[in-house]
Amino acid sequence: MLARIRTACLALGAAVSIALAASTPTPTLAQATGTLQQSIASCDRGDRAACLAAGLALSDVESRAYDPFLALRFLQQACAANQTAACGRLALIFFAGEGDVERDLPSAGNFAIRACAGNDRDGCEVAEAVFAEPGSPQFDAEKALRYRRANCTFGDRRSCIDLARILYAMDDALPAEQIALTACVPGDPASAQVCAFGQRLQSLRRKAEAEREAAIQAARNAQAREQAVFDQYMGRRDYDGALYYSLYHLRSKSHAETAIMAAARAGALSTIFRDHFYVLEYWFPSGPVAQIAASQIAQIRQANDCGIWNCTNMPGASEARWRAAGGARASSSYSGSGSSYTPSPMPSSASIAKQTRDKYRSYNCTGSRRLSSSHPACQ
């Protein structure tokens, strides 16, 4: 890029012929001098196109009138009048530091921005060079990327491949591939590098797409197999098996809901392992499944209150049990001076429910039907 800009500073003086008369024969020295003087005179009278012609002629190193310092006067007037070619030439002169003009990157960047805004190719190339140099005080990654895009659009292959590599590094692989392949000209040695890079990105994309499609298909096949197992349970009306498979294998609320609702419609809730209802209560905070779970849990608690726990919540139950354990005899024979025997507290319904849940966790989290330790039921 830098070499090309410096070469352009030496070669672009030929653009004067565009402003004067591109189809005329090569002028003699006297003719060129006379034309330059006419352009200067017209510029002094306010003709900004003539200012551009004078500035381009004076900044042409092949011209005997070459004077880049004097050219600045006419180029600046033309640039101020929105002659983008003048802004681009000023950017080149300040970037290269030609003749008596010292290198001035801030000025080069300012003129390059104005020139590139008018689609002047020289201005865009200088802008990229100024803002893309990491060690420069003018370094600006966002502007560098913008002007790389512009130069790539102009057909600069170096800018295209740099832009493609930057986008690829930013995980924007598809635009990087498209830019590289657009800049590629098959059979052109100058395009070999950008073509190879674009083809490599294309190959990587196709490989990734194939792997992603294979993974999607594998997941679909696994889902089909799991659905087939669930359907077998449901086909046999094994609602407890279907619910267990939904809760602990599929981890699927929709399948669990299907199984429990089917059991409710078939009047087969009694076939469901009772501890499953605690999981359903956790998974479904509301709705018909939550209502079924709450109803079944309430029945379990009622059975516990007057069943295996010997009606612990009934009035007088704890005292009766204390007396049956010999508490009355101990009380009649003991004659302490300041205290009396206090029976051990009996578990409440909340404590009983907790013990039931602990038994459920012990059954499902440590036995042969062991769940993962991260499963909510095992927390």
So what's the pLDDT on residue 15?
38
pLDDT of residue 33: 67
Q: Which two tokens stand for residue 34?
A: 């006379």
Rounded CA separation 211/205 (Å): 10
Residue 201 · residue 164 · CB < 8 Å: yes
Give the per-residue pLDDT at 307.
Answer: 47
The C-alpha torsion from 184 through 188 and 191 to 192, rounded to 10°, is 110
Q: Are 261 and 289 in contact (CB under 8 A)?
A: yes
Q: What is the DSSP annotation of 104-149? A: -HHHHHHHHHHHHHTT-HHHHHHHHHHHS-TTSTT--HHHHHHHHH
The per-residue pLDDT for 333 is: 46
Domain ranges (residues) in the chain: 2-154, 236-322+348-378
CATH number for the domain formed by residue range(s) 2-154: 1.25.40.10
Res 343: pLDDT: 63
- Please name which of 182, 188, 139, 189 lies closest in space to residue 160, comparing C-alpha atoms: 182
- Nearest Cα to Cα of residue 205 among 171, 244, 182: 171
In the Cβ-directed half-sphere of 313, how many Cα atoms lie within 13 Å?
14
Distance CA 250, CA 259 (A): 12
For 350, other C-beta atoms within 10 Å of its C-beta total: 9
Q: Please, what are the averages of pLDDT over each run of 10 residues along the chain (379 residues)?
A: 48 38 45 77 90 90 85 92 93 87 91 93 93 87 91 87 88 89 86 88 92 95 95 95 95 95 95 93 94 92 58 59 60 48 69 76 65 66
User: How high is the pLDDT of residue 171?
Assistant: 86
Task: Supply the pLDDT for residue 313.
Answer: 53
Question: Residue 47 contacts by C-beta under 8 Å, 6 or more apart in sequence?
Answer: none
Q: Write the DSSP symbol of residue 338.
A: S
The SS3 of residue 29 is helix
